Structure 1
Amino acid sequence: MKLMYSEWEQERKWLRKKAKDARGLTDAEEEQLDRALAKQLKERIGKRASQLWWQLFGIEGHRLDSIEHEARFIAHLDKIFAYPTASQLISATEAPRHLHTASRFIRNRRVAYQEVEFLAPSASRLLELMLYGYFPFEDTWIFLDRRSERSSDGFNKPKQWLALPRGVVPTDRLGITIEIGIFGDNPIRSENPANLFSSLQPSEKERLAKEFGSVGTHTQWLAKIVENIFTESRSWLRSRIRISFAGEMDDQQQSLAALLANGGPISGKRVSMLDGNYLNCHPDNLVIRSSRGRRMACSICREPTTPDQSQLIKDTGGSSARLCHACLKWKLKIDNERSWLRGACIKV
């Protein structure tokens, strides 16, 4: 055991010393690392695009194996995204098709994963069809808010269009952010997928090499840095790489509705949709209201609501609660079932 620990300590000592060379790599060596990392990132993004598509739309029966099916899917999106519509943002249909692989969860006699193959356009086109990334709209770039966490007041953040400030052009079409780090430590962050290594600070390059390098020749050491970064491991000691797209990071951005209604956010004012659809940013559907005071919300689902979409009810104790129509329908159904069961018990 003492000998094994000594070997491990010698290896860590060698890596700490070798990692300092990462600060002074030649341009050719940095370019080599950038190309290798970009290739791995492309493969990882391609797998994620295929998996996302299958989970979101493939299970529902949507297909993209022909131009006709792709056009039909875009028409389906137009029913969800009222304004701007998906057809306004998505480029022309592409003809080439590729074979994609995804996994689906099946429950038979035992839990298992099954691989699924389907024909569809390229991975970048799949992400575009799922409205991932930045899209030019009028005089700004917009993107979907894909954050799933709850806000501090307990309300679910609605899925809506966000906008970059006018005049700001994104450097990456998908808004890719790469985070690399170990458990319990601040991750190394980069927004340059094509120049991931060369865009880092010298201290970050050294840290990356120290964490992911392996003992060997100089060429082997460089190759292992790339390989170990993308090695999947369940151990918390190993680092993981996280790839985020536009709208997935918790960055404060202005909503497209506020930009169209009054040129940007105004303190004490908020923009609401007349029809309650946050994906309908048509100017005729936007109304400016005061943001002071408590927001109206359903007492069950906690979703924001309006007087037209909800009802104020009172219980036997005299307390009042506001329920949206969907939760009110569900509550009436549950109350009727309980009344029926109570009556059946009395008869018995």
Structure 2
Amino acid sequence: MWLRAKAKDARSLSAGEEAYLDRELAIKLRERMEHEASIRWWQLFGIEGHSLDCLEAEAKFITHLDNIFKCPPASQFLAPSDTKRRSHHAYHFSRQCVYHGVEYVAPPTTRLLELMLYGYFPYENTWIYLDRRSQLSSDGYKKPKQWLALPPGEIPQDRLGITIEISTGWRSLIRSQSPAALFSSLKPFEKENLAREFGAEGSHQHWLEHIVEGLFFERGHRSRISISYAGESEGQHLTLAELIAEEGRTPGKKVVMHDGDYLNCEPGNLIVRSNRGRTMSCKTCRRLTTKDQSEITKDSLGSSLRICHSCLRWMARTSE
């Protein structure tokens, strides 16, 4: 009862008290981002043998990125390297599910996120970002990643596109896009919910301190707060390919890549097709399929073939 009554005070804290909560929450958020960035980079590239411990290694890694991101090339969005390096801690699990803790040397967190292409990047007259959604098609096949684009003229609020989600109560969620002013940017009832969920009995100062500590305390290896970046949220997104080929999304039309590479948005590689009234079948098993259950591939002669995901999985197994 005391916490429920005290939580109402969160609606009318002084400017100094709100500044204190914003500052302490921002410190915790930065620590969380540094930890998660270190783990993400290692699990994406470190276990593949890539290194960032010196300028030469970083330049080699950027060349590797340009081999993946054909058009636009990744190097186009990366600022020149500097000599700053720091120690990062991460972990990964082997195929035998054995935990491995690691320590490696790499640039600071902001540069690490940039090298992983997190955030928004200016491209011609728009801002683009990578599709990082964990989307699956209706038959469980992972959809390809590609560049997405903000509508022309729209400018992102911050370069990383950070969204903070806080779980309070039963399926109650607080969202904020202000990492430097997380508490003060909330609505009065959200401030009260936050204080009721994470505050603790004691003096007024102890209550304030515990709002910060309680929010970041791990419960059963599950955090009540999560940080997402541009391209990780669900919803309708305009693709860069659609913007280049059609200057936007056109009903009844779709854009496909001639070479099947969704990261190659070279105008000559983009083909606009109708997605209405056409039956599709797999060229391997001859069964009917859909756009969501198949992919366009190239044979040895360069001809386009539609192969269903079941056959693609079978091909991948037999080629190992």
TM-score by length of 1: 0.82
Q: CA deviation at 1:326?
A: 7.4
Task: Give the alignment partner of residue 60 of structure 2, picking from 54, 69, 72.
Answer: 72
The sequence identity of aligned pairs, in percent, is: 53
| CA offset digits 1:136-178 (Å, max 9, x no partner) | 1111110111111224576532200000011111111111111
**Cα distance in structure 1, aligned partners of 2:172 and 2:316:** 47
Letter in 2 for 1:278: Y
Unmatched tracts of structure 2, length 5 or more: none
| CA offset digits 1:158-200 (Å, max 9, x no partner) | 2000000111111111111111013632210011111111110
Letter in 1 for 2:60: R
Residue in 2 that maps onto 1:315: none
SS of the aligned residue for 1:304 comes to: strand
Residue in 1 that maps onto 2:246: 262
**Cα distance in structure 2, aligned partners of 1:329 and 1:112:** 26
Letter in 2 for 1:191: Q
Q: CA deviation at 1:103?
A: 1.5
Corresponding position: 1:169 with 2:155:
yes
Name the CA shift for 1:257/1:214 in 2 (closer, same or farther; >3 Å): same
Q: CA deviation at 1:328?
A: 4.3
Mapping 1:156-305, distance limit 5 Å: 156-182=142-168, 184-234=170-220, 240-292=224-276, 293-294=278-279, 302-305=293-296
Letter in 1 for 2:88: H
Mapping 1:31-46, distance limit 5 Å: 31-46=19-34
Letter in 2 for 1:187: L
Residue in 2 that maps onto 1:47: 35
Aligned-residue CA RMSD (Å) = 2.6
Asked whether the 8 Å contact 1:180–1:240 carries over to 2, the reply is yes
**Cα distance in structure 2, aligned partners of 1:186 and 1:303:** 37
**Cα distance in structure 1, aligned partners of 2:12 and 2:219:** 30
* Alignment size in residue pairs: 309
Name the CA shift for 1:124/1:182 in 2 (closer, same or farther; >3 Å): same
Residue in 1 that maps onto 2:17: 29
TM-score by length of 2: 0.89
Q: CA deviation at 1:48?
A: 0.5
**Cα distance in structure 1, aligned partners of 2:150 and 2:130:** 11
Asked whether the 8 Å contact 2:183–2:191 carries over to 1, the reply is yes
SS of the aligned residue for 1:102 comes to: strand
Letter in 2 for 1:35: R
| CA offset digits 1:111-137 (Å, max 9, x no partner) | 642321111001111111011111111
Letter in 1 for 2:229: F
Asked whether the 8 Å contact 2:294–2:309 carries over to 1, the reply is no
Task: Give the alignment partner of residue 79 of structure 2, picking from 91, 115, 119.
Answer: 91
Mapping 1:114-129, distance limit 5 Å: 114-129=100-115
Residue in 2 that maps onto 1:3: none
Q: CA deviation at 1:304?
A: 1.4
**Cα distance in structure 2, aligned partners of 1:82 and 1:128:** 17
Letter in 2 for 1:28: G
Corresponding position: 1:59 with 2:47:
yes
Q: CA deviation at 1:32?
A: 0.7
SS of the aligned residue for 1:287 comes to: strand
Mapping 1:307-318, distance limit 5 Å: 308-310=303-305
**Cα distance in structure 1, aligned partners of 2:310 and 2:7:** 60
Letter in 1 for 2:274: S
Q: Which has the larger radius of gyration?
A: 1
